[in-house]
Chains A and B, each alone.
Chain A
Amino acid sequence: MFIHAFTRGIIFGLQSFWRNIWLSVATVFIVFLALMSVNFLIMVNVITDSAVGAVKDRIDVSVYFKPDVRESKIAEVKTKLEGSPQVKQVIYKSSDDNLANFTERHKTDEKIQETLKELSGNPMGATLVIKAKDLEDYPAIMGMLDDQSIADLIEERNFDNNQLVIDKINSIADSIKKIMLIISAIFILIAILIVFNTVRVAIFTHQGEIAVMKLVGAGNWFIRFPFIFEAMLAGCLAVFAVIIFLYPFLSFAQGYLQSFFAGYDFNLVGYFNSNFIVIFGAQLLAIIIINSVSALVAISKYLNV
């Protein structure tokens, strides 16, 4: 009995979807637009995160050691820094490397070249380039460098120059996150209302039919189920359409944005691929719930015959 009713509910739902094809297409299209707007938001979020990440990634602290500090001492400092949980990476540049880089950088400047020739030894010390795991970790790292045993070895460090940039980026990133959260919430709310209303309008057009079903002895669930199934089907098709239309757009955007993220691992398609189940699964689940609830609420109005 239940299997009969269930199977018939699905068949009636499919029949109704097909026989009211334009209404069905319109419903799918509205849900599709709502979901597309949500996906664009996700895309903007990814791009913003990547942009902030790219800038953050370029920030580091260079510690210039005095020329007379022995390599073994610098290696000790390097090991100590690497042991810190805040430090992501420490790159060692020897005094010879620094001299070679400096000479290469100023090879066209005759005065500098002459001065370097007049100097008997290497005037440059070694350098450690430190990258923190997070922007917030730099003050802690600077605290370590302030330790007297290390501070005595250092000639100069460039963190002060970065501090302003770091503070600014942090503040921009926080603001963007807050704005995106508000925009996302508004967008999702609008999308829910649009979908809710679309399903209600679709069922409103069936109110006469629902009354007839009641008059010939159909039970409430026998009437409800095909409509709920139809609404769920519309949601599934909309998510399917979103996947089909979104990927070519992502590829296009990826190619266009790649130049802005030169040297940084930016992969929009990859992000959607690796989070495919979470992104589209959540959308599918959400749209099925919204559509089903909308259908349930809308039908209940017409069931009292």
Chain B
Amino acid sequence: MIHLDNVTKIFPPDTPALKDATIHIEPGEFVSIVGQSGSGKTTVVRLLIAEIPPDNGKISIGGWDITKIKPHQVPMLRRQIGVVFQDFKLLPKKTVFENVAFALQVSGVPKGRIAQIVPQVLHIVDLTDKVDRYPQELSGGERQRVAIARALIHRPKVLLADEPTGNLDALNTKDIIELLLKINEFGTTVVMVTHNKDIVNALKRRVITLDRGLVAQDQKVGKYVI
């Protein structure tokens, strides 16, 4: 599903974020990528959504080699990968419904179809009663659920979650992790970048540990060891 082969990324002038990293993730897996700040976790996400290009190596998602992806192909890639960020990245002037619908509108889905799909996804994340609220009228957990709904709207094969619980309290963190597990049960590959030890240890799923840009450990059922 996701293949990073000997990928290196160096930020100017000479700060290596990822050094010769090889990571293979199979369809349907739930993988946590852990590591300290500056270990290269977020760089992996940024490479996978083609926000930055690698300096060396090869990256492919679902058989699509995105190593040298052209700028006009980037929107197509992003419509096929669901991404959730720590800071939610919602559009502040759009309602919950509009934020989720926007991901469909960008790919030209007709209005009728949007009106059909969006409520279904909002039902999955339990936000049916808040469709007309603006992001600033929601709690942190609710905002993250909107972001997850938006990420799921295209029924992606892969969901990338970059520190999805970083801004949440314990209760909301539990809700979001349960939601991600539910999504994974439906068959979506989930890649979660986190430095939350408790979550990783409780999950008992595959853990990839990064340390200063290197893949330090890759355990089938792992623990947060740093």
Contact = CB atoms under 8 A, between A and B. Distances in A.
Nearest to A3: B108
Interface string A248-278: 0000000000000000000000000000000
Contacts of B103: 216-217
A88 to B, nearest CB: 64
Contact of B78 (A15, A20, A211, A215): A215
Interface in B77-98: 77-79, 83, 85, 89-94
A20 B85 CA distance: 25
Contacts of B89: 211-212, 215
Contacts of A305: 51
Interface residues of B, number: 25
A218 interface: yes
B114 to A, nearest CB: 10
Contacts of B51: 215, 305
B79 A217 contact: yes
B105 A8 contact: yes
Interface string B196-214: 0000000000000000000
B162 to A, nearest CB: 11
B166 interface: no
A222 B79 CA distance: 14
B98 to A, nearest CB: 8
Contacts, number: 53
A209 B89 CA distance: 8
Contact of A213 (B77, B85, B92, B102): B102
Contacts of B108: 1, 4-5
Contacts of B110: 4
Interface in A192-227: 208-209, 211-219, 222
Contacts of B74: 214
Contacts of B83: 215-216
Contact of A209 (B91, B105, B107): B91
B157 interface: no
A301 interface: no
Given A5-B108, A305-B51, A216 B78 contact: yes
B170 interface: no
Contacts of B79: 216-217
B106 A222 contact: yes
A289 to B, nearest CB: 26
Interface of B: 49, 51, 72, 74-79, 83, 85, 89-94, 102-103, 105-108, 110, 150
Which 5 pairs from chain A and chain B are nearest by CB? A217-B78, A217-B79, A218-B106, A19-B93, A217-B75
